[in-house]
């Protein structure tokens, strides 16, 4: 569906681009008459609107446009620069000389079926053009939005493991070691054992790159330790700047603010049936929020814990997808 809108808000929609052009020409003629100008002959008007107005008489622009995928479909146009060379399968080539951008020129036919197939496979933008796409709420301040890219390769989930006679030393959870000792190696080990990728639950999520044993320390929820009294002010500030706010309450007095100085743990999503849990641990007199594995977690699984948000009237729908889902986060 194509759509044009006049300055006074009138919109005209059609699935036919030629109908849209006709409407556009009609509107230009009306506007010219309204300004005491004579109506232009249709040919000249089309030439103006479709060619000059769009800068298509500028050779540099034509040179670029002729390379666009899909140019093949402009059957009325004869390319000037990127002509097809017989037998070539790539885009942007054409046989026959170009004779300008006139509406009545002919786009010479292309012999290669490979070439045609290439364009057959081209996906049309569901919104018509990229410029008509709805605004997606990607914040300019969210410098980690690329982590949710579908092009980032996630660790392959291991479905079944070969069990043979080879004795493979299994990594223990280390749960018999003192917390301080386990904590000492956590920062380094978590860099390797977890990664942030696009999540089916919400935005980005944390996934494990290797199997994790039940009871293992997975990652610390790192950030800036701030007093609880500061949280409202900071939240307002982050909101006003469109910055996603990541905070974790330690107790009545302290909160870890991971918004500006956090690590990957801030991307852990909630699940009503989680595979991890969070615990505030005292290590050498300092409180730390540590995420532990609740059960054995296999490579590729998304790590989740129960946010245990307090009940509120304004609900946050839950998309954890578990059988035991409580439907809301709060």
Ligand X SMILES: C[S@@+](CC[C@H](N)C(=O)[O-])C[C@H]1O[C@@H](n2cnc3c(N)ncnc32)[C@H](O)[C@@H]1O
Interface residues toward ligand X, by CB under 6 A: 199, 201-205, 244, 246, 266-267, 269-271, 318-320, 329
Dist. CA 126–CA 27, nearest whole Å: 27
Nearer to ligand X among residue 57 and residue 327 (C-beta):
327
Nearer to ligand X among residue 228 and residue 330 (C-beta):
330
Dist. CA 215–CA 225, nearest whole Å: 25
Dist. CA 254–CA 223, nearest whole Å: 12
CA count, 13 A, side-chain hemisphere, 307: 22
State in angstroms the smallest separation of the CB of 156 from ligand X.
Answer: 22
User: Which strands, in side-by-side order, build the sheet including 286-293?
Assistant: 217-220, 286-293, 276-283
Nearer to ligand X among residue 189 and residue 259 (C-beta):
259
Closest Cα to residue 220, out of 269, 266, 176, 272?
A: 266
Dist. CA 305–CA 151, nearest whole Å: 26
Dist. CA 304–CA 302, nearest whole Å: 6
Nearer to ligand X among residue 71 and residue 206 (C-beta):
206
Nearer to ligand X among residue 78 and residue 271 (C-beta):
271
Q: Is 272 helix (H, G, I), strand (E, B) or coil?
A: coil
State in angstroms the smallest separation of the CB of 262 from ligand X.
Answer: 9
State in angstroms the smallest separation of the CB of 203 from ligand X.
Answer: 3
State in angstroms the smallest separation of the CB of 201 from ligand X.
Answer: 5
State in angstroms the smallest separation of the CB of 278 from ligand X.
Answer: 11
Q: Which residue is nearest to ligand X (CB)?
A: 203
């Amino acid at each position: 569906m194509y759509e044009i809108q006049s300055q006074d808000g009138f919109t005209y929609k059609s699935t036919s681009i030629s109908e849209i052009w006709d409407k556009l020409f009609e509107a230009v003629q009306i506007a010219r008459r309204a300004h005491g100008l004579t109506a232009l002959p249709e040919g000249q008007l089309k030439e103006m609107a479709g060619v000059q107005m769009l800068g298509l008489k500028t050779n540099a622009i034509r040179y670029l446009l002729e390379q666009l995928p899909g140019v093949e479909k402009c059957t009325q146009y004869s390319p000037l620069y990127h002509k097809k060379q017989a037998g070539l399968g790539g885009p942007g080539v054409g046989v026959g000389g170009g004779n300008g951008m006139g509406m009545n020129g002919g786009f010479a036919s292309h012999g290669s079926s490979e070439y045609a197939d290439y364009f057959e496979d081209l996906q049309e933008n569901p919104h018509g053009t990229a410029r008509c796409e709805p605004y997606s709420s990607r914040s300019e301040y969210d410098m980690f939005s690329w982590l949710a890219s579908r092009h980032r390769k996630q660790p392959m989930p291991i479905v079944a493991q070969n069990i043979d006679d080879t004795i493979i030393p299994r990594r223990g959870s280390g749960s018999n070691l003192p917390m301080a000792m386990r904590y000492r190696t956590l920062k380094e080990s978590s860099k390797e054992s977890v990664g942030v990728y696009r999540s089916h639950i919400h935005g980005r999520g944390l996934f494990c790159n290797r199997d994790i044993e039940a009871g293992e320390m997975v990652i610390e929820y790192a950030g800036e330790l701030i007093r609880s009294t500061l949280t409202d002010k900071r939240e307002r500030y982050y909101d006003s700047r469109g910055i996603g706010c990541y905070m974790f309450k330690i107790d009545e007095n302290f909160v870890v603010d991971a918004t500006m100085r956090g690590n990957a743990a801030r991307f852990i999503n909630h699940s009503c049936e989680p595979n991890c849990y969070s615990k505030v641990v005292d290590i050498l007199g300092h409180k730390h929020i540590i995420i532990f594995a609740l059960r054995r977690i296999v490579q590729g699984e998304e790590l989740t814990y129960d946010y245990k948000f307090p009940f509120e009237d304004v609900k946050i729908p839950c998309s954890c997808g578990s059988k035991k889902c409580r439907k809301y986060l709060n």
